[in-house]
Structure 1
Amino acid sequence: MKKKTSSFKNRLIGSLATLLLTTGLSFGQSDTGRVEGTVTDPTGAAVAGVTVVVTNIETNSRIEITTNEQGNYVAPTLRVGTYRVEFSAQGFRKNIQNDITLTVSQIAQINAQLDTGEITDVIEISSNAPLVETSSSSLGQVIEGKQIVDLPINGRNFTQLATLVPGVSRGTPGSNADGSGGNAETFRQGDTGSAAISANGLREQNNNFLLDGIDNNESIVNTIVFFPPIEALQEFRVITSVAPAEFGRGGGAVINAITKSGSNEIHGTVFELLRNSELDARATFAPTKPIFQRNQFGFAFGAPIKKNRTFFFGNYQGLRQNLPKEEGNRVTVPTSRMRQGDFGELLNADFTGLGQPITIFDPVTGNPFPRNIITRPLDPVAVRYLNSFPLPEIAGRATQNYFVKRIAKQTFNDGDFRIDHRFNDTNTIFGRFSIADDSQNDPGRIPGFQAGFGAGLNTIEARGVASGYTHTFSPNAVNEFRFGFTLLRIGFFPVNFGQNQNQTIGIGGLGAGNTNTGISLIGGGNGNFIEYLGDGGQFTLRERSYQISDALTYIKGNNTLKFGFVTIRRNVKAFQGDFAKGFYSFSDFAATPGNKPPLGQTGYEVADMLAGRTSFTSITASLTG
């Protein structure tokens, strides 16, 4: 069968050109902040011509600027970190302010009052007090590196800390973005809510994730592509309202995460987190305690390649987890008597679970079968199909009689490598490579068959490149260039993919020889009278994303002009099985007293199967010729 492929080539997702003329600067999709302020003398008068030197304590990179006629200065496009700001002018004592912490997209207001005296005299001020941002109307909060590392985070999912920001909550379970279903796009961190957050009550799909100023969104449910380990994050900012114009894209939160760079000092971390089921309690109705094993391990390391010039930072995080799913839940399998066409057990009102008996009718004559035993020949395919189910584990009931023993095996390998280089005080570059190879193999509810949403093999393979170049033309003109590329492959492969279970059971039709092997989707209603088996078929997606952005900042007096554009191009190719193996639906009508089934039905789903009576059948096929 020919695969059905949808291609969205050369699709321009966003192209934004902005011109901002403001007294404050709005920072867009970048990993920088800014320091600005006013310098005055003891009388409060502005001091022009003051030399201002802003130095990054960790890398010793610096920028030198001069105050204008109004005593104002601006040091734009500074990487997040800790800074020292020095003010010096002839006839005044040098003023040094230490421990200035600059966060992502922050506009830090650092004012200085110079005292008269010799320039060799120094006044030093040290403070880690929070800086009030008065130059931006955006609402949000920065989650700093210390918070990311120190606060307890279940599963080391950094997006959980976004709830520290007013107006942000975790997404609603079952939102298609929170991972609760274990589907291919969101099984990662599914036990911790994935990346689903809601800002100000908006949908979880309305958010915009950035990593080092580069788009970090996938296009299916608009969740995150790369989950950086917490050791790799310098900090991240969550903007919940009045986001700068450069962001666009989503009306929810903007989550702008920044990875760490190396410094002049060597830093390293090694970790291993172990959890298992040895001390867990057995679920109330579960016959045994399910196996739970979680090993999360990795390292982070940063160091200088050349002091004050070139730095690197790398990290790796692995996960090996056996995760119980639907612990204590039960599903319905047919009894041994039902598989032989004997439904006499259903005449017992307590056995049916409905509090009423169920009568089996002849689908041809419309008359009840004597003693609820089908006297017509049984469909041999249906007999083989029913015998594929395990026998009930709970006697005396027709429904909810088999315990789910579902252990999903997760194997994650994620990492980043970043290099920063400073050519001189006016030219800096960085490059980052990220990788994610994550898979979840879920055996489902019924051994050997696709059963239960999220069962099967779900895979995500992602590769990402981000780079940036910052050039300072003059203290009043700075340009930032960004390039990013992301390759994302998402896959779903049903249980026993590669084995033609339809052929083994004897299910024919157009779907019998389909390359999307496994078994057709078979069942009815909500699966109350017999558990669904099968699926719609294999799903694969390949997405390529390219981003180019540039922003030129020019400062003239008290005004700042910013010219910029962001262009994102996505190429998405997807293949969906679309029930090419077939969908066989059976009625979930139950023939309780006073409720006779229509002609052509037996009054019970399992009996309909043995009689070969589907309510409808659907098969999708592509024909060539």
Structure 2
Amino acid sequence: MCPSRSSSRLATLVVFAVFLLAGVAQAQTITGSITGTVVDSSGAIVPGSKVTVTNEATGAERTLITTENGVFIFTNLVPTTYSVKIEQPGFRPVTRTALTLTSGDRLALGSIQLEVGQTSEAISVTSEVAALNTESADVTATLGTSQISDLVVKGRDFMNLVKLLPGVAQQGGGDVAGGTFGVQSPSVGGIRAVYNNLTLDGARGNDPGGPAFFSTGVAVDALSEIKIVTSAYLAESGPNPGASIKLTTRSGTKDFHGNVYLFKRDKNFNANDFFVNRQGLGAFPYRLTTTGAAVGGPIYIPNKFNADRSKLFFFWNSEITQSFLPAGVTFNAPASVLQYQVPTLLERQGDFSQSLDTNGQLIVIKDPTTGRPFLDNKIPANRINSNGQKLLSVFPLPNTTDRSLTGGLYNYQFKNIQDTPKGSHTLKFDIVPNLKDTISVRLKKWESDTKSWTGI
């Protein structure tokens, strides 16, 4: 029995490992690294220096000693803002602050120079511009937390922010966040959108049925970073040959932060469209309301659990969108005006004496039993099926009869209105068990519906 149990346990472990590795294979890394070299004022390397990197959001620290070549490398760092402090006896401590590390970035600080002096005399340098990437040849563009918060976002759809970045075509995105079945990504660098790589916190977000679509709805206020890697990217990006659009959700910090927001768009704020006026229609119903709230911070009990607020953090965001918007595309009319040809009152009575084609010629109605035209182009009352006549009454009567406007193509038009209620809910926990590891758990719910009203 023992061999059987051992085999069963081994099989269970193998199956578990296969599923675990399958999940890993679909994901991309979002962590980055910070590297640099410590030298003195003459440019000579300074080995054995103590280097401390600090997460400015959570206060978490990691420390190492430079190699004999004066080099330090911090790996597996989550995307955020860091400070780096270098200490060496006989030299003034140097601190570099406000170092922004983006998703998958390799941040090279270059040579950091120490000056001879007392350890109590510290030098602090604050980074004001992005560091030049000398660690890889990939071409990237990034929107950080401040830019995401400060920029106006059409429809509160993050994909409209992506279109602001260099090399991105003006397609994709929408008036309502998340689209109908997901939001379409744009073409980047001339490569079709179906070849894009879309990820959220490293997990693949391409819709299986439509790779150009991002099917994982997420609110703009739940994002800390949007990054595009357009070309010459490393092997860790992929598997598609197009651009990589990487989204990173926000995390809690050692201090509590939160916000409540409301965005409103209404037809009363808009002028009516020229072509809608030309069609003789009034302004479309247009109401788009987005409300939400976000809060993040440490989870702790004073003097009992996580007292230094460095081990456990949370972030929560909920966003509700209520919309009542026009939709649809038709011939010779603005979007959301639908046009059809419906039976006139005379035609419902069998009288086709005034029924004209698009060339203004009479449409001749023939007797199906003889093949000859009806007298005066009118169907006799005793030849009309009463049930069919009642069925015709279901259709509305024409409301547009100006042939100079319609060209004889339609006589009935109406506004196609869609109600697309949506909800996005994100809850994220970050656990820092030690100085080298961070465990993130994200729970997310996305709700979307579409209701349409038509005139027929």
TM-score by length of 1: 0.61
- Aligned residue among 310, 313, 330 for 1:311: 313
Give the letter aligned to residue 271 of structure 1: Y
SS in 1 for 2:184: coil
Query: CA-to-partner distance for each residue in 1:479-502, whole Å, 9 max, x for gaps?
Result: xxxxxxxxxxxxxxxxxxxxxxxx
- Aligned residue among 415, 424, 434 for 1:414: 424
Question: Do 1:29 and 1:214's aligned partners in 2 also have CA atoms closer than 8 Å?
Answer: yes
Deviates more, 1:278-287 or 1:371-380: 371-380
Q: Are 2:343 and 1:331 equivalent residues in the alignment?
A: no
Gap change, CA 1:330 and 1:73, over 3 Å in 2 = same
Separation of aligned partners in 2, 1:280 and 1:384: 42
Task: Please identify which structure carries the higher strand content.
Answer: 1
- Aligned residue among 187, 208, 214 for 2:180: 187
Question: 1:188 Cα deviation (Å)?
Answer: 6.1
- Aligned residue among 384, 388, 394 for 1:388: 394
Query: CA-to-partner distance for each residue in 1:325-364, whole Å, 9 max, x for gaps?
Result: 3444432212122223322112xxxx43333332223445
Gap change, CA 1:384 and 1:220, over 3 Å in 2 = farther
Aligned to 1:265: 255
Q: Where in structure 2 are the equivalents of 1:2-21 lying within 5 Å? A: none
Question: 1:86 Cα deviation (Å)?
Answer: 0.9
SS in 2 for 1:345: coil
Separation of aligned partners in 1, 2:244 and 2:77: 20
Give the letter aligned to residue 313 of structure 1: F
Separation of aligned partners in 1, 2:358 and 2:248: 56
Aligned to 2:293: 299
Q: Where in structure 2 are the equivalents of 1:188-203 lying within 5 Å? A: 194-203=183-192
Q: Where in structure 2 are the equivalents of 1:434-445 lying within 5 Å? A: 434-445=444-455
Question: 1:125 Cα deviation (Å)?
Answer: 1.4
Report the number of matched residues. Answer: 409
Question: 1:186 Cα deviation (Å)?
Answer: 4.3
Give the letter aligned to residue 44 of structure 1: G
Question: Do 1:412 and 1:437's aligned partners in 2 also have CA atoms closer than 8 Å?
Answer: yes
Gap change, CA 1:396 and 1:89, over 3 Å in 2 = closer
Question: 1:64 Cα deviation (Å)?
Answer: 1.3
- Aligned residue among 282, 289, 308 for 2:283: 289
Q: Are 2:234 and 1:244 equivalent residues in the alignment?
A: yes
Q: Which sections of structure 2, spanning at least 5 residues, go unmatched?
A: 1-18, 301-308, 328-334
Question: Do 2:92 and 2:117's aligned partners in 1 also have CA atoms closer than 8 Å?
Answer: yes
Question: 1:291 Cα deviation (Å)?
Answer: 2.0
Give the letter aligned to residue 72 of structure 1: V
Question: Do 1:104 and 1:142's aligned partners in 2 also have CA atoms closer than 8 Å?
Answer: no
Query: CA-to-partner distance for each residue in 1:250-294, whole Å, 9 max, x for gaps?
Result: 222211111111111111110111222224334312433332222
Name the Cα RMSD after superposition. Answer: 2.7
Aligned to 1:340: 349
Aligned to 1:225: 215
- Seq. identity, %: 30
Separation of aligned partners in 1, 2:135 and 2:387: 73
Aligned to 1:425: 435
- Runs in 1 of length 4+ with deviation above 6 angstroms? 14-18, 177-180
Query: CA-to-partner distance for each residue in 1:173-223, whole Å, 9 max, x for gaps?
Result: xxxx7679x9xx94268xxxx433111222222222111111112212221
Q: Where in structure 2 are the equivalents of 1:130-529 lying within 5 Å? A: 130-171=130-171, 186-187=179-180, 194-222=183-211, 223-282=213-272, 283-284=276-277, 285-306=279-300, 307-325=309-327, 326-346=335-355, 351-374=356-379, 377-378=383-384, 382-395=388-401, 399-446=409-456
Give the letter aligned to residue 335 of structure 1: T
TM-score by length of 2: 0.82
Task: Please identify which structure carries the higher helix content.
Answer: 2
Gap change, CA 1:341 and 1:83, over 3 Å in 2 = same
Question: 1:432 Cα deviation (Å)?
Answer: 0.5
Aligned to 1:43: 42
Give the letter aligned to residue 139 of structure 1: V
Question: Which of structures 1 and 2 has the larger relative contact order (alpha carbons within 8 angstroms, sep 6+)?
Answer: 1
Question: 1:106 Cα deviation (Å)?
Answer: 1.5
Give the letter aligned to residue 197 of structure 1: P
Q: Which sections of structure 1, spanning at least 5 residues, go unmatched?
A: 1-11, 19-27, 172-176, 447-625
Question: 1:241 Cα deviation (Å)?
Answer: 1.5
Gap change, CA 1:108 and 1:396, over 3 Å in 2 = closer
Gap change, CA 1:73 and 1:322, over 3 Å in 2 = same
